[in-house]
Chain A
Amino acid sequence: DTEVTQTPKHLVMGMTNKKSLKCEQHMGHRAMYWYKQKAKKPPELMFVYSYEKLSINESVPSRFSPECPNSSLLNLHLHALQPEDSALYLCASSQETGIYTIYFGEGSWLTVV
């Protein structure tokens, strides 16, 4: 059983919609991540939060807006997405941002129509 929980598991949205992906972990981890994974490709890092502060933004378009309300929660707000943004979005966490094992959630499969 995963200790990183993501909701929803599946989301279909139009290009003018506003939606959010949510992630929660209860392992006391202080680093949280968003990854994007296209079909048959490895995950690509999008954002890193360390102690609730955004530390890394891998040049992600502003239509993706991350938020870390507290140390257990991580959101990804979506607005005006394009069909090419359809992908699996993986949330992950680790104890800190040094070299620590990263634990992944089950992912949220996003389809933009």
Chain B
Amino acid sequence: AQTVTQSQPEMSVQEAETVTLSCTYDTSENNYYLFWYKQPPSRQMILVIRQEAYKQQNATENRFSVNFQKAAKSFSLKISDSQLGDTAMYFCALAYNNNDMRFGAGTRLTVKP
């Protein structure tokens, strides 16, 4: 069975600071992808970043980067230079095929001015 755990229901960060959101997962598959999706109050789920499990190098997208620890089954998201527009619910997700994507419970991030 695949499970995704986000242990931080809510977090806050000051504008321009750095914040890290945690995610752990469990799977018996060897070939899988991990994702972070952002859902702002507008409700659209927006892809933030994705990581292929077979790649050792951590994915980076502008201010967003991940710390992927495959052995520990950990996939944290670091947001640098936080902006007010980063305020959203963040979901960690695991998929070994798109028919079975599992989401974590989400972390609500608030960026304070």
Contacts and interface: CB of A to CB of B under 8 A. Distances in A.
Contacts of B105: 41-42
B64 interface: no
B97 A99 contact: yes
A89 B93 CA distance: 18
Interface string A36-67: 00001111010010000001100000000000
B102 to A, nearest CB: 9
Contact of A99 (B33, B104, B106): B33
Contacts, number: 58
B43 A107 contact: yes
Given A42-B103, A42-B106, A99-B33, A104 B98 contact: no
Nearest to A102: B98
Given A92-B45, A106-B43, 14 more contacts: A31-B98, A40-B106, A41-B106, A42-B105, A43-B45, A43-B91, A55-B99, A56-B99, A99-B95, A102-B47, A104-B46, A107-B43, A107-B44, A109-B43
